[in-house]
Amino acid sequence: MTKNEVLSRLKEGNQRFVEDKLDGKLQNSSRRDDLTGGQQPYAIILSCADSRVVPELAFDTGLGELFVCRVAGNIANSSTIASIEYAVAHLKTNTIVVLGHEACGAVTAAINGGDNGYNLNHLVSHITPAIHKSENKTDVNTVVKTNAKVTAEELKSRSSIIGNAVSNGDVQIVPAYYNLGSGKVDFL
């Protein structure tokens, strides 16, 4: 699929999800059997670990269609970057979606500051640049959207594999925002 076809397919799947018309395809034993020899996901989703945001459902996809990395705040840390590099370099996946979501707890923690312990402090430090770049530094949803955009840029700047693929026109990175109530994904 071309990059535009991938984006269209994601949007169509999300529309089905929003309208409660999931097709539920590619989720059975036959599909599992088809995938034992390898995978060819058509999109990479860097999403928050929040249990309310499930990319496979939000885009109405089946087994083997999405390469999903989930971490609180959908941040570009070394592990998520390495995972995405694998999908770009070895699986030849051409579309990366950085999916933030409404009322993100990790972004809220970053905005509120304070000492949350070593590990959580390290995680929210990845979100701090988005706070500084946001028009409204105290509105969680504004910072979430900015964070998706900043993370998209970080994927290019912190990885030569991803950066070169984007520069060569082989890969697109699209920041997006998931609305909790409706399930709609806004591509930013």
When divided into structural domains, the chain yields a total of: 1
Cβ–Cβ under 8 Å, residues 176 and 98: yes
> For position 184, what pLDDT does the model report?
98
CATH of the domain at 82: 3.40.1050.10
Residue 81: give the domain boundaries: 3-187
What's the average model confidence in pLDDT over 90-102? Answer: 98
- pLDDT confidence tier of residue 24, bands split at 50, 70 and 90: confident
Which residues contact residue 51 at a Cβ distance below 8 angstroms, ignoring those fewer than 6 apart? none
pLDDT, one tens digit per residue, over 33-90 is 999 999 999 999 999 999 999 999 999 999 999 999 999 999 999 999 999 999 999 9
Give the separation between CA 20 and CA 164, rounded to whole angstroms: 39
Global pTM value: 0.96
pLDDT of residue 106: 98
Distance (Å) of CA 147 to CA 113, 126, 150, 154: 16, 9, 5, 10
What is the token pair recorded at 127? 């979100």
User: Quick one: which of 33, 183, 188, 167 has its CA closest to 88?
Assistant: 167
pLDDT at 147: 98
Write the CB contacts of 127 (distance below 8 Å, at least 6 apart in sequence).
Answer: 73, 75, 106, 107, 110, 143, 147
How are strands ordered across the β-sheet holding 66-70?
A: 66-70, 43-47, 95-101, 172-178, 185-187
